Amino acid sequence: MAASDRVLSSTLSDPPASPHPITYQWLLPNSRGLDNFLKVMDTASSGADGYPTPPPSPQHESGPAPNTSTSDADRMDATSHASASNDRNGHKHEVSIFLAATESFSKKNTNCTVQESLDRFAPLMAESRRRGFPVRAYISVALGCPFEGPDTDPHRVADLAVKLLEMGADEISVADTTGMGTAPATKQLLRTLKEAGVRNDDLAMHFHDTFGQALVNTMVSLDHGIRAFDSAVGGLGGCPYSPGATGNVATEDLVYTLHSLGAKTGVDLDESFESGQY
């Protein structure tokens, strides 16, 4: 069993205690990864190998299961688009995929063209949704590429976002993988996405802090109406194919900033800080 499968198995059989439901996002690079993911999920559901059999999921007779997003404009909700059909011990699980906005980064990172990425992910996304697992799609280097420079074409990003949504993605995480993004570039990208018909509710922003611009770009995104943001405790993260880039914006910095604006995140800042220190 691969290490990732062991982590998933452990999470299903002995989930961490939490006063609130957790949404787990499992990054799957290809159909083989999905097959392994579904195999572990099926094993857990059957109660085999000592895994508990989860309670039956709530059935909704009309329309899809309601998501957990909120209409409160001041609340940042990290569990949007989670489907009630994939509950495991009260928690939810999503499938995540990633592709790049530039050909150079795509070939370096995943050894294929952008179109080949789309072709690979189409059946994976269809099967994930058929099995009741929402799909989150990441678009890497959306605000700058280490091989093609800081001027990633926003129309290229918007075109990919539309294609991914049409393929069945529930949410698009627009990633500034290099941390090259600036306030004007972020504003232009968000405007271009909007003009392409991509809704704010379908977007999350994923900022790295290489040049200290992550919180600046977060503020621009907030003004635009975005309410979902990725972060990592202690500013962890990075990519071996993005030389010099640092990690994601630190969760404790992001939460502090949002709380200072009066936003409700549901995140305990003190606990987040302690996790970052650890």
The pLDDT value given to residue 238:
83
What's the mean pLDDT when you consider all of the chain? 86
The pLDDT value given to residue 3:
78
Residues 82 and 166: their CA atoms lie apart, in Å, by: 18
Residues 221 and 227: their CA atoms lie apart, in Å, by: 8
pLDDT, tens digit, for every residue of 155-186? 999 999 999 999 999 999 999 999 999 999 99
Residues 138 and 28: their CA atoms lie apart, in Å, by: 11
The pLDDT value given to residue 89:
75
| Catalytic positions, written as ranges | 239
Q: Give the other-Cβ count within 10 Å of 243's Cβ.
A: 9
Residues 173 and 53: their CA atoms lie apart, in Å, by: 32
Length of the chain equals 278
Q: Is 199 exposed, middle or buried (0-12, 13-18, 19+ CB in 10 A)?
A: exposed
Residues 101 and 189: their CA atoms lie apart, in Å, by: 12
96-277 topology per CATH: TIM Barrel (3.20.20)
Q: Which is nearest to 93 in space by CA: 12, 169, 19?
A: 12
Contacts of 35 (CB under 8 A, 6+ apart): none
Report the predicted TM-score, pTM, of the whole model to 2 decimal places: 0.85
The pLDDT value given to residue 17:
84
SS3 label, residue 122? helix
SS3 label, residue 128? helix
Low-confidence ranges of the chain (pLDDT < 70): 1, 47-86
